[in-house]
Amino acid sequence: MLMTSWLQNMWEEVARPFILRPYRVQFAALCVRDTEDGEEVLLITSRDTGRWVIPKGWPMDGKDGAEAAMQEAWEEAGVRAKHLDRDSVGHFTYDKKLDDGSAVPVRTSVYRIDIEDLAEDYPEAGQRKRKWFPPKEAANLVHEPELSALLRHL
């Protein structure tokens, strides 16, 4: 009887919440420009690991997903938009590592932003690198399989 109670408690308190973890929500900017050789995608480095990512962040009070993505693109990459697509072009999931070493599952909605230009002075200048890539090359550089697939279908 004691073992059954212990197993039930382990299921309810540990295993079940872990398996059924709800996704947190983020919004990301797929920053694109036209060149003579075709479209290019802007990737930036993450501040912690230096791997290639697209600008993304948490929801913001008073902003919808597209507006939050645009704000992240400005803060993280100095993006000035020519056009912001109000509809998501897709999503990707990943596990966000937190400062305490734990991870939370995140579902990130992606919004296309056609770029007018890039500012030299922006909030996270000096904290990240930014570089333009052809979509297929960018797809090979990011770690998230669903984001990679999104980039390949640009």
Label residue 90 left, alpha or beta by phi (over 0 means left) and psi (-120 to 50 means alpha): left
Q: What does each C-alpha distance from 95 to 21, 45, 60, 123 come to in angstroms? A: 11, 17, 20, 25
Whole-number pLDDT of residue 22 = 82
Which domains does the chain possess?
23-152 (3.90.79.10)
State residue 94 phi and psi, 5-degree precision.
-160, 170
Q: What is the pTM of this model?
A: 0.84
Q: Which residues contact 49 (CB under 8 A, 6 or more apart)?
A: none
Among residues 27, 131, 113, the alpha carbon closest in space to that of 72 is found at 27
Residues 21 and 102: beta-carbon distance below 8 Å? no
Residue 138: Cβ within 10 Å count: 24
Pairing of strands 103-118, 24-35: parallel
pLDDT in tens, the chain (154 residues): 455 666 666 666 556 556 666 889 999 999 999 999 999 999 999 998 899 999 999 999 999 999 999 999 999 999 999 999 899 999 999 999 888 988 889 999 999 999 999 999 999 999 999 999 999 999 999 999 999 999 999 8
Among residues 119, 97, 113, 90, the alpha carbon closest in space to that of 48 is found at 97
